[in-house]
Amino acid sequence: MMRDAKWIRVAPVLAAGVLAALWLVPARVRAQAPAAAPGLKPEVIRTIESAENHIMALAEKFPAEKYSWHPEDARSTGEVFMHIASGNYAYANVMGTPRPEGITNESLSKITDKAQIIEALKKSFAHLKMAVNNVSDPDKTTKLRGRDYTMRELMLTAAAHDHEHLGQLIAYARVNGIVPPWSEEQARPAPPSKPGE
């Protein structure tokens, strides 16, 4: 009986401690970055966005006069950017999300102004990501270049296409003495720490 009475006195203190601990945990969890959503579509979109962020950074970094530069017998810088945009629309179309009215490979190939190229790229990436989200059955098959592809394979191929041409643009940048912005950030020395840190 005495033991029960003692427990009754201690229980509120323990309960208060547990509640306090539970109150603190969400604050720590909120301070951390949210966990990335699992699953095929979110993962493909993150892969596309990884290429997109670097491609857009290079599109901004290249001087307008370098958009016409190209190695012998290869696309110019501007043409590579527009090839990426065309590819984004083409893969989205095959996945079942049609191109917006007036957007064709021919109309995109006529864009040569830096600001217009950047805008066209942004729109093409948004369209591609929308197409990935619109896929209802990743196992559904469709024909492309004479063979069957699943929607899953098309999503992965679209992401790979963006990364392939990102590599090409990095090479174009380096040949022209342009340091990719993310490499500049890594090369920057860390600011000196303040006393007591």
Per-residue model confidence as pLDDT tens digits over 121-137 = 999 999 999 999 999 99
User: Which CATH number do you get for residue 82?
Assistant: 1.20.120.450
Dump pLDDT digits (tens) for 27-77: 444 455 556 667 999 999 999 999 999 999 999 999 999 999 999 999 999
Domain of 86, in residue numbers: 40-179
User: What is the structure's pLDDT at 191?
Assistant: 65
Domain annotation covers residue 151? yes
* Domain annotation covers residue 19: no
Residue 22 lies in a domain: no
Residue 13 lies in a domain: no
Confidence category of residue 13, pLDDT binned at 50, 70, 90: very low
Q: Is residue 185 part of a domain?
A: no
Neighbours of 181 (CB within 10 A): 16
Burial 32-55 (b: 16+ CB within 10 A, else e): eeeeeeeeebeebbebbeebbebb
